[in-house]
Amino acid sequence: MIKKLSTDVSTGLSSSKVLELQGKHGLNELPAEEGESLWQKIKEQFEDILVRILLAAAVVSFVTSYLG
C-alpha cells in the first residue's frame, strides 16, 4: 500500500500528494445524513405493541402500589 500511494512511512504523504488525492477521491468524510427529530424517535418507540404492553403494565403497577 505504501508503494501504491508513493509515500514514506516516517513522513507520510506530501502536501502536493494530499491535494492530488483529495482532488481525485474527495475529502475523507462521510456524507451527512438527515436526522429524525427527537419527537419522531420517541413516537416510533411507542408504535411497537410490546412497548405499549410494558408501558401499560408499568402504569398498572404504579397505580396499584400508590393505592395499596
Return the domain boundaries, the chain.
38-67
Cell of 16: 502536493
Mean pLDDT of 53-68: 94
pLDDT tens across 21-37, in order? 899 998 888 888 888 89
- Is residue 57 very low, low, confident or very high in pLDDT (cuts 50, 70, 90)? very high
- Is residue 5 very low, low, confident or very high in pLDDT (cuts 50, 70, 90)? low
Task: Give this prediction's pTM.
Answer: 0.42
Cell of 3: 508503494
Q: Is 13 left (phi over 0), alpha (psi -120 to 50) or beta?
A: beta
Contacts of 9 (CB under 8 A, 6+ apart): 2
